[in-house]
Structures are given as structure tokens and as C-alpha cells.
A and B are shown apart, each in its own frame.
Chain A
Amino acid sequence: MKIVIGEGSCGIAAGAGKVHSALESALGGTQGVDLGLTGCIGMCFLEPIVELRDGETLVRRLVRVSEKDADVIAAAAVSGDLSMLDRLCIQPEDEEFLDKQTRIALRHCGIIDPTGIDEYIACGGYEALKKALLNMTQDQVIEVIKTSGLSGRGGAGFPTWFKWNATRQSPGKKYLICNADEGDPGAFMDRALIESDPHNLIEGMLIAAYAIGSSEAFVYVRAEYPLAIVRLEEAISQAKSRGLLGENILGTDFSCDITIKAGAGAFVCGEETALIESLEGKRGMPRLKPPFPAQKGYKNMPTNINNVETFANVPWIILNGGEAFAAMGNQKSKGTKVFALTGKIKRGGLVEVPMGKTLRDVIFEIGGGMIGKSAFKAVQLGGPSGGCIPADLIDTVIDYSAISATGAIMGSGGMVVLDETTCMVGVARFFLEFTTNESCGKCVHCRIGTKRMKEILERIVKGEGKEGDIELLEELCLAIKDGSLCGLGQSAPNPVLTTIKYFRNEYEEHIRSKHCPAKQCRNLLRYVIDPEVCTGCTACARHCPTSCISGRLKQPHSIDSDKCIRCGMCVSRCKFGAISAE
């Protein structure tokens, strides 16, 4: 029997590390029971997760485990009497979360131990590299990727083979870069892929390096992902010790080294030319394109940049053939896409589905719908560069062109579900605050335009919106799209444009009626006490910081709205639910 703990960043934040130590001391070196770890199983909503395995077979999956459960788990594993674990076992409907997915990029995540190389090799790891290096020419590798229809999973969806080929054709020393600067708030696919299956990324990168003819590769990882960096560092040294990385890989004349570079916290560095600037030790400010990185990139030499998820698909494609990958998906987009499903969702986590599924499939079939009683309102795709797709477009198909047609973008895979308690103007303001902070400042429209947009949105949520504000926002949006050099500026208006397009009435209600339908904008709220429910216990009045609640003991109280600062303290203090916001 083997006990395996899911130890990705999410799991550890939920307490998986403590569970691991507790199990270690509970087992105390008992013979016959091994303790191991794996990466992110993907069911974030059930963390920490502990699995009991018999060889390869999963015997029990235990969820929301705490360190207090360590003794009973250890006892069950030792005695073989698993009935004592019934209360910890995953519910059958939660198993649907994994059962309804198609995992290619995530195929080893939550299964193998990411801290060693052996389990990766045991499940066919580095076989694709062998096949490519020993049996295929560079052109053949590129041809397979072309057949597969693999396109850039970082968001833009550009055909991968085309970039590889362009870099290969350009003269001079070639560089390969993996973009792991996953900056979209609400996205953690790449982090999970690196933490849970680092060798798969290394293998994918090596195949790409071979195809384009590069001997020097970099992984640019966000500094906010310390665990991903550690696991990748370990994996690189393991691969080197097995002759899978470095000089004369697998005895061939192909040599390649991979270096990790930690980012320093700048969203714009997710843009490929800004990333190159940052890699050169400079401020991460985008360059004018053309020349494209495939012509002049790192140190002005031909450079190919792909996202983590793109590389993660490559070994599978080489092993199974381009046709097998292209068989998944629909006419326009091939293969699968990984999403980080979060927000007001019942079952949040990592989801990989074939292209061509609908948003409804992901949110309701896999995600199980909304977490609370509030109804589904919209889904935010693509982070600050993307947009909000409303409930009546829930049957939108997941492919690059169908999603773009809504005004949002596929993006890197952040999928944040919003319900009726989310203010759409507030969401737009949130993203504009983000892009204003992250604009590198090079282009005037992006630097100042986003700031002006943010100011208008702040005015609206404060109840100071004016007639004409919506039109002014739309005008600014178009100007910023036109006047910005890189993707950050060109896409910064998307959250505003899509919320205006689908939720214009919410903007109008804020501006004209000074009312927030989602009851989220503090300045537009009015707290009232229901005299029928109020018992006159005085708890609210005693805790009100501005003493604006009056009333006699055991008599219904009332709030003076002019003095109220809308801190919400009274609501949290009332035991009878008598106070509500209007």
C-alpha cells in the first residue's frame, strides 16, 4: 500500500505539507506502507487530497484531509481495513470533475512524483525525445507539429509549427524560450504543469530545440512561483545526470542546455518581446514588431518563444502522431485546452477539455455550477486582456475564433465564474486598475488612456458617473487599441468593451439611478433595518463606528443614512439578519 499526498502550491496552502509530516510521524517507518507525493491533482476545491494506492491502482481518494486524520489513515493503510476512512472519501459526484476531462498536457499531473525522474521515465517519459532525436529529421518534427494543428496556448493561438519553422529558417545562433510568466490574475495552469510534471516541459522544450536547431534554452518563470522554480531546478539536474540534457544528448551530436530565469514581477513581461528585454537584464518594455523574435529576438538572434502548455503537448504529439492530436477538437482549433476554473464555482480547479466543448460543459458539467444560491451571471476569460461572456452565451464553443467573436479571448486559460453578486462595472474597474499599474509606460495611449478609463470607472462606482461616460469610455477604448504597441495595451480595453456590450444596463443604472444592482459598490449602498425582524438588542448600535444607529433597548432600531459610512459592521454584528443593503 502506498499513501500519496497531492503537493502542488494549492495543496500546500491548504495544509498538505502538515498532513505529510503528520502521516510521516503516524507511520513511523512502518514496513509495507510507503509515503509519497504527487503534484496537483487538479481538484483544488477538495484540497488537501490523499490517495491510497495499491501499485498503480487507486484504492481510495481522501479529500479535505487535515493533520488530525493522519492517525486513522495510517491505521487503515497498515491494517487494510479501509472502511474506517469512509467519512473522508470523495463523493461520487465530485469524481465527475476528473472523469469528464480529456487530459493530454495534464496527463501525468497528480499521478507521478514530480520530485524524481524515475516515475516520469516509467510512464514513457523521454521516449518522445528518443524518437525525435534518433528517428526523425528536424523537418519531420516540424511536419508532425504542423499536422497536429497545435497552436500557441499562451492566448494568441498562433500556429506553433510556423514559429518553429521561421526560427529554423533564420540565419545565426538560435535561442529557445519557454514563457512561464503566467501573469493573468486567476490563472495557474502553467504553475501546476511545472510543479506537477517538470520533466514533460523539459522534454517538450528539448524536442523544440532540436527542431529549430538551438543549443541554448531558457525558462522565464514568475518569481511568485517559488515551488515551480525549485521543482524545475531539480528536474534539470536529474535530466543532466541521465544524459538527457546538456552535451551530446542520448549519444547524438545534439546538445542543449536549459537555464531558469526568475521574473521580477511585471505583467507586461508575458508579452514575448518584453520578456526578451527582461531576459537581457533590462526594463521589460516591448519592442516594435516586425522584426519578430523568430528573426531578431534574444541578443538580436532568432528566438522561438512558446508557452508552457504548448511545450507540454509536444511529447504526446511526437509519440502519438499529429493526426491523433488533430482528431481532438473541432474544425478550427485542434487538441485540448487547460483552464483554471475559479470564482463562484462549486468545483474549482484545473480542467482540460478538447476544443469544441462549450462553456456550459466546463462550468456546469465539470465545475458543477455555482457554489452559492446566486445565479450564474458571466464568465471572465483571458484575464485583463480578455472579457466577460454573459449567461445567455453559455453555449459558446471553446475554440479560438468562437471565443474571440464574443469580444473576449481564449487567453492562457483563466476562467473566473461570476454570479449575480458580482458588479460588472466593478469587474471592469478591477481590471483597469490592474492594467494601469502594469502598463510599462512606453505608449502614451496605454499609459495615460488606461488611467483615464480607470478614473471614469471609479467615478461611476462612486455614484458620480455622468451622462456620456459610457460613450467616452468606448471612444477611449478604441483609441487605446489603436495607439498601443503590444498586446497589453491593445487588449486592455477588452474587459470594459465586453461589459459595456453585455451589461450596458448596469452601467446606466450606476450612472442614472446611482444604484448598484449587485449591491457591491459601497458608495451606492443604503443599509436599512427591518423593524419586523429587529429585536432591539443594540449590538449594531454598540459596534457602529459613527454612532449612526439609534433606537431604544428592545425597540426596533434605525440607521441615519447621512452619517453611515457603509462599513457593513452592523450587518456582521446582527444575529437576526435584520439589516440588509439596498
Chain B
Amino acid sequence: MSTSGSSDLSLLDGVMSEYSQAPENLITILQKAQDIYGYLPVDVIYYIAQRTGVKPAKIMGVATFYSQFRLEPVGKYLILLCNGTACHVNGSEEIERLIGEKLFIQNGDTTADGLFSLRKVSCLGCCSLSPVMMINDEAYGSLTPEKVIDILDELARNARQEEGL
């Protein structure tokens, strides 16, 4: 594994000066780093290790323990499909299957065009609207197969238009 990389580490300066002194802030640092880079690149992990004095292996241990952290970049649209109990009994498995068939991805994957990533998450807490998914912080509730297809088509269309501009 290469420890050097192309990430702009200076983006982390503010975070480091605020949090790097106490080891209990590691999770906060990783969260802020992920906000900046979209995921946790390896060179960023080594840089955090160097600045905090926590061993890189320990940081990898933490980064892989918590489901929030990603070691790979995600697509433009991150689909968080709720897998809570209420969503389960109201048909979230059908929705997952449909997304898989439509986008040719499974849980954890990103489409080849880099547009969509799919992640099953435990309860989003909008149980009365189940089944629910959240795409880039916007929640979509009471999903039906038709609704999901419309939503994904519209997002893909938006992305194409943005690129065209």
C-alpha cells in the first residue's frame, strides 16, 4: 500500500489544529476528513497518523469498524436505502432488487459511470414513510417500484444536463 498520494493535505490544516492533540478525537477527525475528500484516501490516513501519533493500523481499524467510513470514492449520487424493520416489512427488499437490476450494482457498489452508489443502511428513522431511501441528504418516502425508477431517471437526466452545460 502506497503511503503517498495525490490528496491535498493542506485542506486538513484547520481540522488538525483543532483536534489533533487528543487521541479521543480520532473519529471526529476521520468524519471531517471524509467530509472534505468524500472518502478516506490512504495518504490522508497516513497523514492523520503522523499528525495525531495514532498508528496507521489503529486508524484503519477504526475506519473499517464503523459503517460511515468509506475507503473508496462514491458516485455523484449516494443512495442510502433504509433497511430498518418497518421498511423491511413494507417491501425494501423489492426496492433493493429493483435498483440492482436497473443500475447493475449491488450493495456497496458504484455504477461504471460513477453516477450512483448504493448502500444499505440501518434505520433512517422515517419509519412512517417506509420504504425510504435517502439520496444526497434528501429523503424519498413511500417508495414504489415506479417511483424509484422515476427518481433514478430524473437524477440521471439532471446529471447529463449538468455535464452538457
Contacts and interface: CB of A to CB of B under 8 A. Distances in A.
Interface stretch (A29-37, A151-159, A261-269, A391-399): A261-269
- Point out which of A14, A184, A342 has the most chain B C-beta atoms below 10 A from its C-beta: A342
B68 A261 contact: no
A422 interface: yes
Nearest to B92: A430
A223 B141 contact: no
Contacts of A266: 65-67
B69 interface: yes
A427 interface: yes
Contact of B124 (A224, A281, A431): A224
A332 B130 CA distance: 35
B110 to A, nearest CB: 19
Contacts of A278: 27
Interface in B11-48: 22-28, 30-31
Interface string A4-20: 00000110111000000
Given A185-B123, A278-B27, A281-B25, A430 B88 contact: yes
A381 to B, nearest CB: 11
A225 to B, nearest CB: 7
Interface string B78-117: 0000011111111000100000000000000000000000
B61 interface: yes
A74 B69 CA distance: 45
Contacts of A422: 89
Given A44-B127, A264-B69, A427-B89, A186 B84 contact: yes
A418 B68 CA distance: 30
Nearest to B69: A264
B79 to A, nearest CB: 15
A225 B122 contact: no
Given A13-B129, A185-B84, A283 B65 contact: yes
Interface string B58-78: 100110011111000000000
A223 B145 contact: no
Interface in A27-70: 44-45, 47
Interface in A386-439: 414, 416, 418, 422, 427, 430-431, 434, 438
Contacts of A264: 27, 30-31, 66-69
Nearest to A285: B65
Contact of B68 (A9, A14, A265): A265
A227 to B, nearest CB: 10
A279 interface: yes
Given A266-B66, A572-B145, A188 B123 contact: yes
B85 A349 contact: no
Nearest to A349: B128
A163 interface: no
Q: Report the interface size class on chain B.
A: 35 or more
B153 to A, nearest CB: 18
Contacts of B27: 261-262, 264, 278, 281
A281 B24 contact: yes
Contacts of B129: 10, 13-14, 44, 47
Contact of A383 (B85, B94, B128, B145): B85
A282 B132 CA distance: 31
Interface string B121-137: 11111111110100001
A348 B128 contact: yes
A446 to B, nearest CB: 15
Interface string A181-195: 011111110010000
Nearest to A495: B85
A10 B69 contact: no
Contacts of B68: 223, 263-265
A9 B126 contact: yes
Nearest to A47: B128
A188 B139 CA distance: 15
Given A282-B62, A283-B62, A225 B85 contact: no
A309 to B, nearest CB: 15
Contacts of A348: 86, 127-128
Contacts of B127: 44, 186, 188, 340, 342-343, 348, 416
Given A342-B86, A344-B89, A224 B121 contact: yes
A342 B62 contact: no
Contact of B28 (A44, A261, A414, A416): A261
Contacts of A344: 89-90
Contact of A262 (B31, B85, B94, B125): B31
Interface string A255-295: 00000011111110000000000111111100000000000
Nearest to B63: A264
A187 B123 contact: yes
B61 A185 contact: no
Given A185-B123, A261-B28, A12 B139 contact: yes
A385 interface: no
A160 interface: no
Contacts of B89: 343-344, 416, 418, 422, 427
Closest 4 A/B residue pairs (Cβ): A44-B128, A264-B66, A185-B84, A13-B139
Given A10-B125, A572-B145, 17 more contacts: A47-B129, A183-B123, A185-B122, A185-B123, A186-B86, A225-B125, A262-B28, A264-B27, A265-B68, A278-B27, A281-B26, A282-B58, A283-B65, A342-B86, A416-B86, A416-B89, A431-B85
